[in-house]
Amino acid sequence: MEPRKPVRERLLDAADALLFVEGAFATPVDTILKAAGASPPSLYSHFGNKEGLIAAALHRRYEVWKQVWDDEIAAAPDDAGRVLALWNALRTYQSERMTERWCAFTGTAAAFPDPAPELREILDLETALLRDRLLETATPIAGERAEALASALMVTYAGTMALMLREPYEKAIDEGRAGAASLCAAYA
């Protein structure tokens, strides 16, 4: 028989499976506890509260997401490919790693308009990663206009996320990637 995972990992796994598919605000703590086979004291001793659990689950997702994106950037054949790596990473993340209905970070920001400090920290970290990476990858293509391209790409990515709520993620990613490719061509 396989040994049971530590309660902290079971809680994070349950959070991943429920919070970012059903919604962070809509998912009751009792549902998470039942899925994890955990008691309320274990949640509170490891994470302090539900927002602490959400923040820890987002940190874990952030690390996975960042690595998937790093790998796609490294595999890109050219400057445009490094920009489009964001959409390639999104496809890989959705199909092979941690499926979600749309963006766990955006969904959490929508559910908690005035988040606790631990949530604010991870939400800001993910936003900074997007902004910084898009600017970094846009610069070789757009030069002095890189900030404008990066901003347009950020909006395109957000649109991709929103479309994932209404269409199969594959279609939303294809359409977002095509839009990003058009932007790269327009700024080149």
- Residue pair 112/58 in contact (Cβ under 8 Å)? The answer is no
Q: Establish if 46 belongs to a structural domain.
A: no
CATH of the domain at 142: 1.10.357.10
CA torsion through residues 86, 100, 55, 97, sign: negative
Shortest CA distance to 8 belongs to which of 27, 28, 32?
32
Containing domain of residue 104, as a range?
60-187
Number of structural domains the chain divides into? 1
pTM value is: 0.91
pLDDT in tens, the chain (188 residues): 667 899 999 999 999 889 888 888 889 999 999 999 999 999 999 999 999 999 999 999 999 999 999 999 999 999 999 999 999 999 999 988 766 777 899 989 988 999 999 999 999 999 999 999 999 999 999 999 999 999 999 999 999 999 999 999 999 999 999 999 999 999 99
Is residue 3 in some structural domain?
no
Does 87 map to a domain?
A: yes
Token pair 């796994």: residue? 13
Q: Could you tell me if residue 145 is inside a domain?
A: yes
